[in-house]
Amino acid sequence: MEPERDDPIIDACLEELLGGVTPPDLSERILRALDEGQVPATYPHLMPPEYEYAGPGEGLAAAANGTAANGTAANDSSERRVAAAAGVAAVVVPGRQRWLGSREARSFLWGVTAAGMIAAVGFWVGRNSLLIDDQPDQPNVVDRSDTENESKKNGSQANHPSPAFVDNKGGNQPLPKSSDRRDRTDVASARGKPDGPDFGSGEPNLPAPSAVTTPRPTTAANNSDVIAFVNAQIAEGWREHRLTASPQATDAEWCRRTYLRILGRIPTVAELLRFLDDAAQSKHVALVDRLLDSPAYRDSYARNWTSFWSNVLIGRSGGMQSDSKISRPGMRQYLREALLENRPYDRMVHELVSATGSNRPGTPGFNGAVNFHLGNMQDKAVTATAKTAQVFLGLQVQCTQCHNHPFNDALQNRFWELNAFFRQTQVVSAGGKGGRHYRLVNRDFSGEGKTATPQQAEIYYEGRNGKLQAVYPRFIDGTEIAKSGFVSTVDRRGELATLISSSEWMPRAAVNRLWAHFFGFGLTAQLDDMGPHAGVSHPQLLDRLSKEFVASGYDLKRLMRWLALSDAFSLSSRQLAENKSDDPLLGVAWFSRYYTRQMRPEELYESLMTATEFDQARMSYAALDDAKTDWLQQFTIDLNTDECNEASTFDGTVGQTLMMMNGRSLERIAGGEKHRLIERLVADRNMSPETKLQYLYQAALSRKARPREIRMANDQLRQRGDMTETLQDIWWVLLNSNEFILDH
């Protein structure tokens, strides 16, 4: 029979990411298949008819125990895991040869991939129906009966276990055991299981539902006013479009997504329990303040937002090529210092646009901010012009390089007037004790053309009529500066930096970019194309937030507080029939639920480090950063275009899934018999088997194992009799599950 699905919303989202192929429920279906040795109901009709299915005990269960279906020992544990994660059991053919790994198997898997690509075309037709959770036998990601889900309703500390396991240094203190005997019923022994350890009964021990809903927390006066306005504007959008907002997320879900958005990683078990055990109604505010301001999270905050802004400014591929002028370490060092001091955003923009100096740390005149322009100064700084407008103003101007804008009144001359600000800037190659590096300098510009002079340093562009047109520096709002090309008279790029940082476009672009980071979609369809032709879903909200951002002194952390503490951010990812029309992929987002999305590659890496406690190794900040950069390279492709575009293979495809399942990086982090976390759990005699299992679930998924998951784990432990091997395989399944990789 087909196993029940606990998380149809996440399954549907991952189905979209994988191109329409419905994935197995990795956190439960595999364990069931391991026990029963059966092919899930999703796949038998696709299997070649000449193969027979292995009976119970001969399929995945045998593979998981290191035995092939033909009775021979499996040579590679990763092979067992790929078979399990694919949701396909071992099968028996004449001679009892294994089907997995055969030519027919490869043909079958390619067929599934091709079918998935075809199914993706039809996905849009049935997409909404996949996301509606209207069947009572299919519980959602949001399970409001879970123990940890109730604190937001009634604020009771009794609803959560005491945080006895609070040891960020890798201590071995056990999680508390439940005092309720219902949680310790030995169901397995009633089935004839011999005496021995198990993971508990899986029987629920849940508090009575509460009819009281805790009001959303508020902040200090000024912040509370802004948050209230955000809430009112979003709610008005729901009313206008007849949408019903999804219920609030559980405390555990909210905690997990808050860590992901602010720190770029999931919480540790200790951090999760600390939040869940807090009975104060203001604990949401306290957590946001702690993540933003506590010295304990200083490095995590800086590492996350350094990665965020590096990707915005120079891309994931910037500085990764051997011939690149960009120094990625230099860019990251500048950003880290600016973020640690919470430097005002307008000052950062001014520094990045006007920067001069050397690109590499340790070289004379080092200024990491120059790396924003260094990779874009080719071809008369055309790319630098477009990139600057795109990132800091939210405007796409590159198409007006050759013609007038097709959708608004932007004219061709506007692009070249903006480009004229960059003509004093030059890239100089330098060497010395620090090694070869590049400098960005300002030098006098004498203009173009035979009659040009430094006093009237014009540039020329070819109009649509084929005639050359002369232009001088002029900002997009019509503001002109001196026409001189002498740096001593006017620093053109410095003037541009001042015009951008004082422009009304700059705070709007910043607010929209951070809104998209927290909610998955911006207030406009395109973050980098906010021109007059672009519609805004909530224009009053964008205007007010932009003005408040300016009034705050361009305080990025304060802007983050407003977004993280808003009602929209606290909603469940569960889609209702009453808000299924809220589909941001159709162009407009109304934020009536939290939109499920895949983690960014950086977030996945940091979350793997956190879950496996690998980040507790004694590595410097630079060493950890270098290791992450190396891991991320496998997902990024530089397209070598004039716009410095790049593509990512981190897109939920089959290739990425197989890389996650078989990749050496994941095996190094999470696999192997000597993995530190599994070793510690197995060796700790103070922790019951159930507590060890719950620890793994909370470390990976920020929730407890559900009763059915506990029962299946018990079945595996009873069948195999090896605690270490059982925990290792469960752990690997959790880290490869759709629930782990998605922000929901």
Q: Each residue of 581-597: pLDDT tens digit?
A: 999 988 899 999 999 99
Which pLDDT band, with edges at 50, 70 and 90, does 261 fall under? very high
Which pLDDT band, with edges at 50, 70 and 90, does 463 fall under? confident
In this structure, how many other beta carbons lie within 10 angstroms of the beta carbon of residue 76? 10
Q: What is the mean pLDDT of residues 286-302?
A: 97
Torsion angles phi and psi, residue 471, rounded to 5: -140, 160
Greatest mean pLDDT among 132-146, 198-212, 455-469, 471-485 lies in 471-485
Which pair of tokens denotes residue 50?
A: 């000449």
What's the confidence (pLDDT) of residue 675? 65
Q: Which of 206-220, 322-336, 421-435, 586-600 has the lowest mean pLDDT?
A: 206-220
Q: CA torsion sign, 724 to 726 to 729 to 732?
A: negative
What's the confidence (pLDDT) of residue 182? 29
Nearest CA among 516, 571, 595, 569 for reference residue 245: 571
Which pair of tokens denotes residue 334?
A: 């500048």
Element (H, E) at 266: none
Give CA 141 to chain center in angstroms. 18
Compute the C-alpha angle 683/687/688, nearest 5°: 115
Contact residues for 706 (Cβ-Cβ < 8 A; gap 6+): 6, 143, 146, 202
Greatest mean pLDDT among 37-41, 137-141, 330-334 lies in 330-334
Strand-pairing partners, residue 461, are 469
Give CA 96 to chain center in angstroms. 44
Which pLDDT band, with edges at 50, 70 and 90, does 28 fall under? low
What's the confidence (pLDDT) of residue 219? 40
Spatial separation of the C-alpha atoms in residues 524 and 535, rounded to whole Å: 6
Is 598:23 a contact under the CB 8 Å cutoff?
no
At residue 57, the 3 state secondary structure works out as coil
521-548 pLDDT, tens digit each? 999 988 888 877 778 999 999 999 999 9
Report the mean per-residue pLDDT for the chain.
73
What's the confidence (pLDDT) of residue 323? 81
Q: Is 430 exposed, middle or buried (0-12, 13-18, 19+ CB in 10 A)?
A: middle
Q: Is 466 exposed, middle or buried (0-12, 13-18, 19+ CB in 10 A)?
A: exposed
| Predicted TM-score of the model (pTM) | 0.72
Q: With 60 as the cut, is the pLDDT of residue 494 above it?
A: yes
Spatial separation of the C-alpha atoms in residues 205 and 208, rounded to whole Å: 10
Q: CA torsion sign, 206 to 207 to 213 to 214?
A: negative
Strand-pairing partners, residue 462, are 468
Compute the C-alpha angle 584/588/590, nearest 5°: 80
Is 669:628 a contact under the CB 8 Å cutoff?
no
437-454 pLDDT, tens digit each? 999 999 999 999 888 889
What's the confidence (pLDDT) of residue 532? 72
Q: With 70 as the cut, is the pLDDT of residue 175 above it?
A: no
DSSP E strand stretches across 355-511: 357-358, 425-430, 437-442, 459-462, 468-471
Beta-strand relationship, 597-598 and 468-471: unpaired
Which pLDDT band, with edges at 50, 70 and 90, does 684 fall under? very high
What's the confidence (pLDDT) of residue 319? 81
What's the confidence (pLDDT) of residue 431? 78
Torsion angles phi and psi, residue 208, rounded to 5: -65, 140
Q: With 80 as the cut, is the pLDDT of residue 671 above it?
A: no
Nearest CA among 604, 576, 673 for reference residue 78: 673
Spatial separation of the C-alpha atoms in residues 733 and 735, rounded to whole Å: 6
Report CA dihedral (504, 505, 507, 513) to the nearest 10 degrees: 160
Torsion angles phi and psi, residue 634, rounded to 5: -70, -15
Contact residues for 207 (Cβ-Cβ < 8 A; gap 6+): 147, 150, 156, 158, 159
Spatial separation of the C-alpha atoms in residues 193 and 80, rounded to whole Å: 26
Query: Which DSSP category does 503 fall into?
Result: S
In this structure, how many other beta carbons lie within 10 angstroms of the beta carbon of residue 524? 26
Is 531:396 a contact under the CB 8 Å cutoff?
yes
Q: What is the mean pLDDT of residues 332-359?
A: 97
Torsion angles phi and psi, residue 633, rounded to 5: -60, -30
548-557 pLDDT, tens digit each? 999 999 999 9
Position 634, amino acid:
Q
Q: CA torsion sign, 684 to 741 to 318 to 397?
A: negative
DSSP E strand stretches across 80-157: 91-92
